[in-house]
């Protein structure tokens, strides 16, 4: 059995979230949450939030599932919309700033995949 959880429009670049997400791919959910709680990165809080949501979704689908046997089957980050801003630069110019957003998706499963 599988459960999916998503968080969209995270105000952090996908590159930074992928760096943290690659540490926990394929782990048990409980081990991943323990590892992320000790990680000093902003993205770890978003990933923990989505993992807890996926476990909750799994409990809604099947009430007799043990959370100790759940694995992260798939986890990926897609790029969301980019907010474009400008700031003043030298000699009367303006330089662009791209504020990136992300869409985080995690699929958990009861069997290792």
> Which backbone phi and psi does 21 adopt, to 5 degrees?
-65, -35
Architecture of domain 2-109: Alpha-Beta Complex (3.90)
Which pLDDT belongs to residue 100? 97
Q: Which pLDDT score is estimated for 5?
A: 97
Q: Where are the domains of the chain?
A: 2-109
- CA 101-71-111 angle, 5° bins: 135
pTM: 0.92
Q: Is 93 exposed, middle or buried (0-12, 13-18, 19+ CB in 10 A)?
A: exposed
Mean pLDDT for back-to-back runs of 10 residues, the chain (113 residues): 96 97 95 96 97 95 86 96 97 97 96 71
pLDDT for residue 45: 97
pLDDT at 113: 60
Output the pLDDT for position 16: 97
């Amino acid at each position: 059995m599988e459960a999916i959880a998503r968080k969209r429009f995270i105000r952090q670049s996908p590159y930074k979230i992928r760096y943290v997400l690659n540490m926990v791919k394929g782990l048990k959910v409980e081990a991943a949450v323990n590892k992320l709680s000790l990680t000093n990165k902003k993205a770890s809080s978003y990933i923990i939030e989505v993992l807890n949501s996926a476990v909750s979704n799994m409990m809604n689908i099947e009430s007799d599932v043990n959370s100790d046997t759940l694995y992260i089957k798939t986890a990926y980050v897609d790029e969301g919309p980019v907010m474009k801003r400008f700031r003043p630069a030298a000699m009367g110019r303006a330089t662009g700033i791209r504020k990136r957003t992300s869409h985080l998706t995690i699929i958990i499963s009861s069997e290792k995949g």
